[in-house]
Structure formats: structure tokens, C-alpha cells
Amino acid sequence: MAPVSADSAGDLAHEVLRALANTDQILSTEAFPKVPFETLKAALDRLSSRSMVVYEQIERQEAVLEPEAEQIVQHGSHEARVFEAVHKALGGLSIQDLETTIGDKNVTKVGQGKAFREKWIKKEDNKLVALVDSIEDVTRSQLRFIQETKSHDPKIIADLKKRKLLNTAKVISFKVSKGPKFALEIVKEETDLTADMLATGSWKTANFKPYNFKALGGHQVAGALHPLNKMRHEFRQIFFETGFTEMPTNQYIESGFWNFDALFVPQQHPARDLQDTFYISDPKTAGRPGPTSADDKQNYDEYFENVKQVHENGKYGSIGYRYPWAEEELVLRTHTTSVSAAMLYKLAAQKGPDGRVPPVRYFSIDRVFRNEAVDATHLCEFHQVEGVIADYGLTLGGLMEFFETFFAKMGLTDLKFKPAFNPYTEPSMELFSYHKGLKKLVEIGNSGMFRPEMLEAMGLPKDLRVYGFGLSLERPTMIKYAISNIRELLGHQVDLNFIERNAAVRLDKD
């Protein structure tokens, strides 16, 4: 509210108080007919917020005279004016003289017709003469009544409206009466406690304006984290709580070797089709797997040869896929399992305190790429949540037990496990959970124990078993925030207001 209008409202407010001093009630139309509606309302609101007055807003339809009607009230109706002129002139008036006398062509024309119809005048030898001595100007008296009272018999109003002499308008007025704290002076009300008040002690006597508890508070200039990353944080937290180390998945470009071959995915597998995988045109070819640092002493050539053999001829108790295997080019990784494979190969060279390969738990949450047509549920990139547990004597029931713990932290219970197929895990198992909203089992992830063909080729001991599991980050986030189009979550088409306003994830709560 601008200070100027507050001041004028202040003066007006005092006037309202004075007007009420000796009466219980005033009508704004009577007491302040000239004050514009908005100004008056501001003053009344100010007074009523302090309980000094109470007011009621009255809306009614008012008849307002058109300019022509104003003229009639002043001079009489057209026909009356014609009659008066004719009546005054002895021996009648010619039409031309009538017009000169009245001085208004339109009034003369309309009034003449009417006066004829009323049989007040007649034409005699080209002159107009009066037929009666006096007339009653009904229109004029009706309009005069309306001018004074702003109303009349609805039938008359309607008739006059039809004759375009009247218009009706909505008029708002106020019925104002004294409030419980009525006084002639407005006590100054403070809106806020200030440092000055504390310094001067004026807060002790100051009057504080009541706070509006129905309104929202002030706007915060807040930063915000992306909802998908908030979900990522929750998952990461659960992984840390359960002893998982994060894998270096900051490697989007992969060789066909790590993305597929090392995982025992045959080269004719549909997943390796151009339809599904982004291949790279520049750079053109991948390097062979080799040491990643100076102290990396693993025999990568032997590993490469093992992978080739297990595909082509079979090895490690497997008959293999029996096809001619070839070195493959670069791809945008289709899953983060490529990194899991590289990590597991590195693990094969490690030794724990007992001289054996140590048990490990690895996880990652990072971007993967699929050459899919983009639609509401598919994007070319999304985030994969991946976990790997390597240990001795693991059983399939242990993996189920792990999932019960892991998903309970997200509030998901009553898991169901379905046998499934995946080229690099055997057994493979899909995870389902009952979704209360959708009222059905929904798939929440994929898992299994990595195949011996994959692990033994790396040189991992035969009795070290490795669980692997994966889920998407987008799917639970879309369910959490009730998003049906993935493009509203990931990518540049996301609404910033959505990012700024979405609540914390808190997977353990609902």
C-alpha cells in the first residue's frame, strides 16, 4: 500500500469516526456520497481491522438518468414542450415557428408526434393549435422521482429503460456502525517489533496490529537440489549404511569388451543391436584392456584370451556360446555393470588378511545410455542404481534377505522374487513389490548371481560368489513425485518451479 493513499485514508477514517460519534449507524451513500468506493473501503478496512467499526457491504441496482432524461427533468418532456409552445401562441404556430420557439429540431420532431398521439394538439390550416388547456407531463414527473430516489416501480423503470432514458448500475455502499473499540482517535498500531522499539522501550506501550494467521509467510530466495539427486542421496545413504563402497563410474565411453564381452553377453545378443546401443564413430576403436596404472600388474592379455575362449569354445565347465568371437568397437555404456566387471577383475588381484581375495560390496548410481526412441517413459539416458556383493558361501536366499533389509529402508516390504533371464547372471531374479497405489505387484529391480563364465575368466576363486543387482533411479522418483512423463524429470525440459518446490525424498516415510 502506497503511503499517500494511507494518509488520505487516514483523514477519511477520522471523518468516518466523527460521523459515527452521535449516531449508531451511517450509510455511506448519505454520509460520504462523493468518496470513491475504493478509498472508502480502505478507510473502513483500516478501522475494522482495529475493531473500531464494523461494516456491511450493500450492493444494489440503481437507476441512473441518461443525459436526455436529465434534460427532460429540467425542461419537460418533448411533447410537453411542444404543447406549451403551441398553447402559448394564440392562433397557433406554424411548424417552422414551433421549431424556432423550441430551438431544438429533434425535440420538436419527437414531441410533435407524441402530442398528436396524446390528442393535445391538432393541425388547422397549416398551423398547430392546442386541443386542451392543460396537460400532465407524466414522463417528467416519473424521471424527477427517479432522480431523487434512484428507484421507482419496476414496470416504469423497465419502460423508461426501453425508451433509452434510463440505465441501471450496480452500486456498492456501506452500512457502518460502531465497533467494540470505537473511539474518535486512531491509536497508532505497530506492524512489527523493531530494534528501535527495543532500544527505546516503546514496545511496552505500543499497540501491535494483529498478525494475519491465514496468509502464507514471506517468499524465501531459496536454492534447491534436483529431485533426482535427492533420490540419489537417499539411495547412497542406504548403501553407506550397509557397507558399500562407491565405484568409479565416471567413464561413459566403454569398449564392447567391458560393456558386453566381459559380462558373457554373446555378440549376437539383441542388446548389442544398433537399435539399442549407441556406437561411437569418433574415436573409432577401443584399446585392448590393459593396466590402468603403473602398479597394475594383472595379466590383461590372459584375461582377454579367457573371455574369448569362454565365448568361442567354452571354459570353466561351460560349453560357451560356440561362435566366432571378434573384438568390438566403442559404445556409450548401456549399463554401469561394465564398471562392476572392471572392478571385479581388479578384485581378483587383491588379497585379504587370510591371503584370499577379500569380500567386497560395491555400488554406483550413474548415467547409462540406450539408443531408444524418446517418449513419456523412455529417454536415451537415465540413471542406474547398481550394487555388487562378493563373498564366500553366498546363497540365493541370502540375496533375498539382503533385499528385504535394503528395501525395508525405503518402506518397501513383502517382496516377491521371480525367476528371470539375464545373460550375465544365473540364477537371475526379478524383484517385485506390492504397490498400494497401483494395487498390483510392480517390478522394482533385477538381480542375480554373476555367471561363473564371467567370474572365473577374471581369475576369481570358484567359491567366491557375487551378487549383482540393478534398478533405475528415475522410476522410484517418478512414483514418489507422481510424475508420468520422464521428460519432466530429467533433461532441459524440466520446470524449474517443480525443482524449487518439491519436497524432500525421505524414503522411509510413506
Q: Which of residues 411-440 bind another protein (CB under 8 A)?
A: 416-421, 423, 426-429
Rank residues 70 and 426 by Cβ distance to another protein and give the closer one.
426
Task: Tell me the C-alpha distance between 341 and 325, whole Å.
Answer: 19
Phi-psi region of 133 (alpha: psi -120 to 50; beta: other; left: phi over 0): alpha
When asked if residue 488 is in the footprint of another protein (CB under 8 A), the reply is no
When asked if residue 7 is in the footprint of another protein (CB under 8 A), the reply is no
Sign (positive or negative) of CA dihedral 190, 192, 193, 199: negative
When asked if residue 108 is in the footprint of another protein (CB under 8 A), the reply is no
Contacts 24+ apart (CB under 8 A), 437-442: 437/479, 441/416
Rank residues 117 and 492 by Cβ distance to another protein and give the closer one.
492
When asked if residue 246 is in the footprint of another protein (CB under 8 A), the reply is yes
Q: Name residues contacting another protein, limited to 194-223 (CB under 8 A).
A: 221-223
When asked if residue 303 is in the footprint of another protein (CB under 8 A), the reply is no
Rank residues 191 and 250 by Cβ distance to another protein and give the closer one.
250
The closest of 348, 396, 341, 381 to 364, measured between CA atoms, is: 341
Q: Name residues contacting another protein, limited to 312-351 (CB under 8 A).
A: 314, 316-323, 330, 332
DSSP state of 202: G
Instruction: Please select the residue that binds another protein; options are 348, 389, 457, 466, rule is CB under 8 A.
Output: 389
CB of 202 to another protein, least distance (A): 35
Q: Name residues contacting another protein, limited to 150-179 (CB under 8 A).
A: none
DSSP-derived secondary structure for 306-366? HHHHHHHT--TT-----S------EEE-S-THHHHHHHHHHHTT---TTSSPPPEEEEEEE
Instruction: Please select the residue that binds another protein; options are 29, 66, 349, 359, rule is CB under 8 A.
Output: 359
Let me know if 409 is exposed, middle or buried by CB neighbors in 10 A (0-12, 13-18, 19+).
middle
CB of 467 to another protein, least distance (A): 8
The closest of 185, 209, 213, 177 to 50, measured between CA atoms, is: 209
The closest of 304, 291, 356, 366 to 334, measured between CA atoms, is: 366
When asked if residue 49 is in the footprint of another protein (CB under 8 A), the reply is no
Task: Tell me the C-alpha distance between 41 and 59, whole Å.
Answer: 13
When asked if residue 451 is in the footprint of another protein (CB under 8 A), the reply is yes
Instruction: Please select the residue that binds another protein; options are 250, 351, 355, 509, rule is CB under 8 A.
Output: 250
Candidates 10-18, 159-167, 194-202, 247-255: pick the segment binding another protein (CB under 8 A): 247-255
When asked if residue 470 is in the footprint of another protein (CB under 8 A), the reply is no
CB of 510 to another protein, least distance (A): 24
Candidates 30-38, 137-145, 168-176, 352-360: pick the segment binding another protein (CB under 8 A): 352-360
Task: Tell me the C-alpha distance between 262 and 349, whole Å.
Answer: 16
When asked if residue 356 is in the footprint of another protein (CB under 8 A), the reply is no
Instruction: Please select the residue that binds another protein; options are 64, 197, 391, 409, rule is CB under 8 A.
Output: 391
When asked if residue 229 is in the footprint of another protein (CB under 8 A), the reply is yes
Beta bridge partners of 382: 368
Q: What is the largest CA-CA distance in the chain?
A: 142
Beta bridge partners of 64: 167
CB of 2 to another protein, least distance (A): 23
Instruction: Please select the residue that binds another protein; options are 293, 496, 509, 510, rule is CB under 8 A.
Output: 496
When asked if residue 473 is in the footprint of another protein (CB under 8 A), the reply is no
Cis bond leading into 427, ω under 30°? yes
Task: Tell me the C-alpha distance between 119 and 94, whole Å.
Answer: 17
Distance of CA 449 to the CA centre of its chain: 44
CB of 370 to another protein, least distance (A): 10
When asked if residue 286 is in the footprint of another protein (CB under 8 A), the reply is yes
